[in-house]
């Protein structure tokens, strides 16, 4: 019985009692931590302020707008005001987390560019120390709210910096893939081989390529090859077979089919119409 009481104490919600001081820019509303028991859940519920949970250990799920996210150590999730959400600790390895709730005129400006503007989930192991420091506000007196304000600003400063680095890296990957296609369109290339050369996941390459180039990698390969083939036919008087082989097409039937789909006429008709 004594062990059960000790476990219950360890699993209870630990709230830091704060005063609503009505700070204009950033105003801490709630803060606390909890080592959740198996299957512990909250919601579906709505909050009236911004609320971030940082997962210190374990795992669980977070549900928002019908999408379920499986989260673990190093993840954090953002709940916006008046947003219906649900979250639940894992049955086998329930999570431990720290939370901070806040309002204020600068809230949206802080969120912009932090990663939370694109997703309710952000992964940042380096931010763990900030949330550990939030717990120490429990030992402070009248300065607790000011102290938490500083940590909220520090949190978003770090997230924005990490997001900028991540964004620059993604742009570089996308541009390198684009350049590789432009330089090797005549060879037997594939999206999978490009991703492997870049050392990234194929699905990640697809996502960033669409974001920064405006279309899927496979669609870009096809359009670029056909564009070069059209150029060979119209400007260099190449035969249809020469243009096809020079642009990475081994199957003449497939080339003619793809060309007509792109330009509305067959390669031979295109040559007759535009070759000078």
Same domain, 113 and 195: no
Shared-domain flag, residues 13 and 131: yes
- Of 148, 163, 178, which one is at a domain's C-terminal end? 163
pLDDT at residue 178 in the model? 97
Q: Is residue 36 located within the same domain as residue 119? A: yes
SS3 content of the chain, % helix, strand, coil (to 5): 50, 20, 30
Do 128 and 262 sit in the same domain of this protein? no
- Check residue 6 and give its pLDDT: 39
Tell me how long the chain is.
Answer: 276
156 and 176, same domain (yes or no): no
Q: Which residues lie closer than 8 Å to 260 by C-beta, 6 or more apart?
A: 266, 267
Q: Same structural domain for residues 108 and 196? A: no
Is residue 154 domain-shared with residue 181, that is, in the same domain?
Answer: no
What averages of pLDDT result for each successive group of 10 residues across the chain (276 residues)? 43 89 96 96 96 97 95 97 97 97 97 93 95 95 95 96 86 95 96 93 92 95 97 94 95 95 95 87
Domain range spanning residue 202?
166-216
Q: Are residues 147 and 239 in the same domain?
A: no
> pTM surpassing 0.85?
no
Q: Number of folded domains in the chain?
A: 3
The predicted pLDDT at position 11 comes to 63
| Inter-residue contact 31 to 134 (CB < 8 Å) | yes
- Of 130, 145, 163, the domain-final residue: 163
């Amino acid at each position: 019985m004594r062990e059960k009481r000790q476990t219950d104490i360890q699993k209870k919600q630990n709230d830091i009692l704060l005063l609503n001081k009505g700070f204009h820019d950033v105003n801490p509303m709630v803060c606390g931590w909890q080592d959740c028991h198996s299957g512990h859940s909250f919601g579906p519920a709505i909050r009236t302020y911004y609320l971030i949970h940082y997962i210190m250990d374990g795992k669980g799920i977070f549900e928002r707008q019908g999408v379920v996210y499986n989260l673990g150590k190093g993840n954090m999730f953002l709940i916006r005001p008046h947003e219906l959400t649900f979250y639940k600790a894992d049955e086998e390895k329930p999570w431990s987390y720290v939370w901070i709730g806040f309002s204020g005129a600068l809230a949206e400006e802080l969120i912009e560019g932090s990663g939370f503007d694109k997703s309710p989930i952000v992964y940042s192991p380096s931010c763990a120390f900030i949330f550990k420091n939030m717990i120490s506000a429990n030992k402070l007196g009248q300065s607790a709210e000011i102290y938490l304000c500083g940590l909220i600003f520090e949190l978003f400063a770090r997230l924005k910096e990490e997001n900028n680095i991540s964004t620059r890296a993604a742009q570089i990957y996308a541009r390198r893939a684009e350049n590789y296609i432009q330089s090797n369109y005549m060879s037997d290339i594939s999206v999978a081989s490009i991703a492997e050369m870049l050392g990234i996941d194929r699905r990640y390459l697809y996502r960033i390529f669409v974001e920064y180039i405006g279309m899927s990698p496979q669609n870009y390969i096809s359009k670029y090859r056909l564009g070069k083939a059209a150029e060979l036919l119209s400007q260099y008087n190449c035969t249809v077979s020469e243009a096809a082989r020079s642009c990475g097409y081994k199957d003449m039937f497939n080339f003619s089919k793809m060309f007509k789909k792109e330009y509305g006429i067959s390669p031979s008709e295109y040559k007759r119409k535009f070759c000078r």
